Structures are given as C-alpha cells and as structure tokens.
C-alpha cells in the first residue's frame, strides 16, 4: 500500500491582485497557504507550471466579467 505524502502548509505562487500589464502586476509570493479542498474537491500536486498568452489577457481584465475574482494565484510545485 502506498503511503500518503504529507501536504505542506504553504506553497509558492505568482499572484496578481489588480488588473494591468502583467509585467508590472505579477508578483512572486513564496509563502501562500496551501488551499484546503472541500469534501467534493481534490488537491492536486503540481509538478510543472507555465503562463500562457491567455493569462496576460486575464491580467489586463479582458475576461473580468466571467473570470474568477481577484487575487489570481498561479501555484507552483512544492519542492518538498
């Protein structure tokens, strides 16, 4: 039987909390609390992450009427 890996209490993320030029608003936060999934959700370990062109459009606010609320977090893989 496989053992369950421990879940870190914090992770790293690129975060923005306002709309604008992604080069100006995107900030690295090395201490973001790990999300706690609800009963009908799962927590997935990320081993690689990337920003795509659509992410810069999201940051400019092109989708703010239908997008997730700010702040937006791009979680990075845990190195533990």
Residue 80 lies in a domain: no
Residues of the chain above pLDDT 90, percent: 19
Nearest to 59 by CA among 1, 15, 13: 15
Q: What is d(CA 36, CA 34) in angstroms, rounded to the nearest whole number?
A: 6
Task: Categorize the per-residue pLDDT at 20 as very low, low, confident or very high, splitting at 50, 70 and 90.
Answer: very high
Quick one: average pLDDT of 50-55?
A: 84
Residue 28 lies in a domain: yes
At residue 77, does pLDDT exceed 70? no
The residue segments making up the domain with residue 54 are 10-75
This prediction's pTM: 0.67
Backbone torsions φ then ψ of 33, nearest 5 degrees: -60, 135
Residue 3 lies in a domain: no
Q: How many domains does the chain have?
A: 1
């Amino acid at each position: 039987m496989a053992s369950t890996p421990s879940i870190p209490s914090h992770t790293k993320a690129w975060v923005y909390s306002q709309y604008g030029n992604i080069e100006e608003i995107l900030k690295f936060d090395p201490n973001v609390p790990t999300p706690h999934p609800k009963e009908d959700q799962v927590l997935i370990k990320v081993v690689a992450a990337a920003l795509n062109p659509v992410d810069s459009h999201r940051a400019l606010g092109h989708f703010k009427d239908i997008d997730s609320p700010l702040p937006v977090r791009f979680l990075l893989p845990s190195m533990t």
